[in-house]
Amino acid sequence: QVQLVESGGDLVQPGGSLRLSCVVSGSIFSINAMGWYRQGPGKQRELVATITSDGSTNYADSVKGRFTISRDNAKSTMYLQMTSLKSEDTAVYYCNLDGRDWDLRRSDYWGRGTQVTVSS
């Protein structure tokens, strides 16, 4: 089993920055990709950014040039560096892991989320 724990969410003013972290614990056979998703008030959960096992990244158009996804394999941690934050970035941010368990079945794990609020 895998556990994902997000941290770093906070109240920040427009134009500010935050760095989210997602710590991965537990054992898994392989990881295809990890990503950050968010769900704003009254909205559906949406993709923010993903990073594959070979380091390829993908971003939602709304965050391109402002957010950067990265990972530190030695620390089993994924990050989301967010800059130039806007009020529309307000949401609960979730960490996701797409991989295969030891029985080789495709697995999809989620953290519980961390709240980011952008407001003056």
Model confidence pLDDT, tens digit, residues 6-27: 999 999 999 999 999 999 999 9
Q: Specify the pLDDT at position 1.
A: 83
Q: How many CA atoms lie within 13 A of 1 on its CB side?
A: 2
- Span 41-75, pLDDT tens digits: 999 999 999 999 999 999 999 999 999 999 999 99
Give the CA diameter of the chain.
49
Q: What pLDDT is stored for residue 58 in this prediction?
A: 98
Integer Cα distance of 48 and 61 in angstroms:
9
DSSP collapsed to 3 states, 28-92 = CCEEEEEEEEEECCCCCCEEEEEEECCCCEEECCCCCCCEEEEEEHHHCEEEEEECCCCHHHCEE
